[in-house]
Amino acid sequence: MMIFRAVILGTIILFSGAAIAVNEDLAPESATGIQPGQQLQAQQQLVVSAHPLATAAGYEVLQQGGSAADAAVAIQAMLTLVEPQSSGIGGGAFMLYWDNSKQQLKAYDGRETAPASADENLFMQQDGKPMSWWDAMVGGRSVGTPGVLALLELSQQQHGKLAWSTLFNSTIEQATQGFSVSPRLHQLISSKLNPGLGRYPSARNYFFTPSGHAIPVGHLLKNQQLANSMKLIANNGSEAFYRGPLAQQIIAAVAAAKDNPGKLALTDLANYKAIERQAICQPFREYRVCGFPPPTSGGVTTLQIIKLLERFQLEQLAPESVELNHLFTQAARLAYADRARYLADSDFVDVPVQALLQQNYIKQRSQLIDPAKDMAKAIPGEVSPLLSRADDRSPELPSTSHFVVVDQWGDAVSITSSIEMAFGSTLMAGGFLLNNQLTDFSFIAEQDGKPIANRVQPGKRPRSSMSPFMIFDQQDKLVAAMGSPGGSRIINYVAKSLLLSMTSDLSLQQIFALPHIVNRNGTTELEQGTKAEELSPALQAIGHEIKVRDLNSGLHGFEKVEGAWHSAVDPRREGAAMGD
């Protein structure tokens, strides 16, 4: 067995302020240090996740003869315990699953849904103005119907090899015995990035000491409630969650938030369904690149970015050069402009996916890129005279996790999972945090008489930026899988990694460690404390408005190199890889 366990090293970078006005400059999680990146080679099977204990749980399942789908259940269960700020069974997810024997790619949608009683006025006040984001986020109003468990059960029923009941053993044992609080978890609690953490008794008693301090590094944190929940789910399947005792606990927690009551009802849980969708794929050079369709914007927007740049000789440009990064920011501007206008839940609104990726449209938009000058704010393209839309301006601050698995049969998973803001709504039920994903909707339904695609509607899934991806070669063999947390910046992180993996000689591990340069059709952001800062004068000289800031990705992935699977772990978090 080959094993790499990550340890956070280096200087802790503290969250810099306590500003209350939310905007998309805020990182979903504060930076917590840099670890040295290492690469693991595996011949048969591999797990890469955001926490060593979650990686170990998934790898143990693979060693027992489990599939990638089995391992995904074990990993997500453990992440619910050890990385509660980022994801868990109280949230949602998108999964790409490669069935190697059938040569078939599946896309499983476990995104949260709005309650049946919710409408476009969910976040509107009596004076006709939208609530502040902070007021909307904490409490019951922002909680959507969780979808992670339904997704995991659906995929495991189709692709699993082990009994469902065995996949939660590691988490049940760890929750009962306790796990050591990491520097990262301690820092995220103490940073007060989510000022609502501690407002309600369950989370306050779990994450803080009796004196009100964040639980210290090394503290043995036990969670018997979660162990009991996992036992119920192990024995009774998702039925225990969506129609059984856990459903009662979830609704009780939402109802108890009297300061910000929610609309989630037992019927919303009972009626929830994970959806199997069609992955969206595009050719790029000699590869086929596949992502997730709406309701996430990640697949379409990421594919637009790389297709807009296909005509340029990127192989001749250094990955950290001004030239390459300028081109990347321009493609990102154009893609994010389209994202704001057109992308939402395609079950509720017309989303012109094919038109946005159509070859002539991409060619036309790509001609707007000037290699020597920043275009400033891009405007959306015209894809159909029938689509008269206003641009969405909803903030998106997911606290998210990404993991990948490949098993001994060559089946693979790339899954991004989230509860939205760090620590979600801060409400707990059954030992796990509940999401605040409904704040990913636009708080207003229309602008200047034009509807906003991502407005609140009953049963609708809020737009996301989660971007699980896979790359295939000309023989349709899987050669890479990746994804990242990071709010609306996820698209930048993943698009850049995909591009470089297909146009440079760098390993995926080296690519994940590169400094970030990000643009979401506004300011060009350079990663603080890295060589990216050195590009500032040259970028400013060609028109870029620059901001230097923490860019806290959490990229996890693998690639096929000379017949072996090579792991890639983002050095900005505490991820780990295991394989053989």
Calpha distance 84→424 (Å, rounded) = 9
- Note whether residue 492 is domain-resident: yes
Task: Assess whether pLDDT exceeds 60 at residue 10.
Answer: no
What CATH number is attached to the domain comprising 562?
A: 3.60.20.40
Which phi-psi region, left, alpha or beta, contains residue 485 (left: φ > 0; alpha: ψ -120 to 50)?
beta
> What is the percent of the chain with per-residue pLDDT over 70, rounded to a whole number?
91
- Note whether residue 311 is domain-resident: no
pTM score above 0.85: yes
pLDDT of the residue at 97: 98
pLDDT of the residue at 191: 87
- Note whether residue 425 is domain-resident: yes
Task: Assess whether pLDDT exceeds 80 at residue 392.
Answer: no
Calpha distance 449→57 (Å, rounded) = 51
- Both tokens assigned to 481: 């899988």
- Note whether residue 330 is domain-resident: no
pLDDT category, 19, cuts 50, 70, 90?
A: very low
pLDDT of the residue at 397: 53
Calpha distance 414→494 (Å, rounded) = 12
- Note whether residue 424 is domain-resident: yes
- Note whether residue 365 is domain-resident: no
- Note whether residue 361 is domain-resident: no
- Label each residue of 224-270 as H, E or C: HHHHHHHHHHHHHCCHHHHCCHHHHHHHHHHHHCCCCCCCCCHHHHH
pLDDT of the residue at 479: 98
- Note whether residue 371 is domain-resident: no
Query: Which pLDDT tens digit goes with each residue over 458-509?
Result: 999 999 999 999 999 999 999 999 999 999 999 999 999 999 999 999 999 9
Query: Which pLDDT tens digit goes with each residue over 147-159?
Result: 999 999 999 999 9
| Active site members | 400
Q: Which domain holds residue 100?
A: 2-14+23-276+394-573
Q: Report the range of poorest mean pLDDT among 285-289, 326-330, 332-336, 392-396.
A: 392-396
pLDDT category, 447, cuts 50, 70, 90?
A: confident
pLDDT of the residue at 24: 38
Considering its fold, how many domains does the chain have in total?
Answer: 1
Q: Where are the beta strands (DSSP E) in 434-500?
A: 446-447, 450-451, 469-472, 478-483
